[in-house]
Structure 1
Amino acid sequence: MRDAEKTIGNLMDKQSVCFLGAIDKEGFPSVKAMLQPREREGIHTFWLTTNISSLHVAQYRENPAACLYFCDRRFFRGALLTGTIEILTDSESRYRIWREGDTAYYPQGPDDPDYCVLRFTARSGRYYHNFKSEDFAIQETIGN
């Protein structure tokens, strides 16, 4: 793959759903579907929203190891990113990715006590396409 950031970024941008993985108390993977990340910086840093009361937030508090998977079902290809999750509850992060309509999930707006931001930081990646897989490097976007 010549340009991992471009290839993987294009795949990600075309998906409306991604899959976010955590490690449960027994050390097993726990995966759930999420709406596409609200923002991303290259293929290094991603911002998603969730409920503070969610099982995954409790799991990330115990173990921040995580994975993020994007799947293009039409062309049977996908990208797996492994890294860590940070749970952000500060006002700047909450307002940064707040969208109109989020009150359906968080009725009190960006200051809802059950609303938080997950910041996923990738460390490594693997791309599946054309019936083969290849690892790719994750480079932090300049200026971060």
Structure 2
Amino acid sequence: MTALRDAEKTIGNLIDKQKTAYVGSADADGFPNVKAMFSPRKREGIRAFYFTTNTSSLRAAQYRENPKACIYFCDKRFFRGVMLKGTMQVLEDAESKAMIWQEGDDRYYPEGVADPDYCVLKFTAMAGRYYSNFHSEDFIV
């Protein structure tokens, strides 16, 4: 019997309980770069995830150059985790920015939702790997 009878529910529950997401990109030389970020502001199942970041950030520049990406969520208490691989888009349109804006974000983006240094990272998953109870399982999203 597979551990992922309902992958979207199992993985979605794990993700929703985490405060941190580990986001991977590739640098100009093709080496992986990983960064801890706040959990996504919005998710659509286990396929689309929306994060906030600075337009001027290294990560945004890397995704513009090479959109291949991964995100990882870890439940340290139960030693479970999920890695999703896919692509990351850098969105700067007003609708995307307003969609995930939250009260208090002006602390990071002083000009508000229209701050030119505020953008949205949209991750779209294609596949993943889930680890739990000494077992890993690949899945397609």
- Scaled by the length of structure 1, the TM-score of the pair is 0.95
| Alpha-carbon displacement from aligned partner over 1:26-78 (angstroms, at most 9, x marks no partner) | 11100000101000000000110000111011101110000010000000010
Letter of the 2:35 partner, please give it: K
3-state SS, counterpart of residue 49 of structure 2: strand
Which residue of structure 2 aligns with residue 44 of structure 1? Answer: 47
Tell me, which stretches of 5 or more residues in structure 1 are unaligned? 139-144
TM-score by length of 2: 0.97
- Answer yes or no: is 1:100 the counterpart of 2:103: yes
Say whether residues 1:27 and 2:30 are aligned partners.
yes
Helix, strand or coil at the partner of 2:59: helix
Question: Alignment partner for residue 129 of structure 1, among 129, 132, 136?
Answer: 132
For the residues of structure 2 that align with 1:59 and 1:37, how far apart are their CA atoms?
19
Offset of 1:137 from its aligned partner? Answer: 1.9
- Kindly tell me the number of residue pairs found equivalent between the two proteins: 138
4+ residue runs of structure 1 moved beyond 4 angstroms?
Answer: none
CA distance in 2, matches of 1:73, 1:136: 22
- The percent of aligned pairs where both chains have the same amino acid is 64
Query: 2: CA distance between counterparts of 1:137 and 1:11?
Result: 17
In structure 2, the gaps of 5 or more residues are none
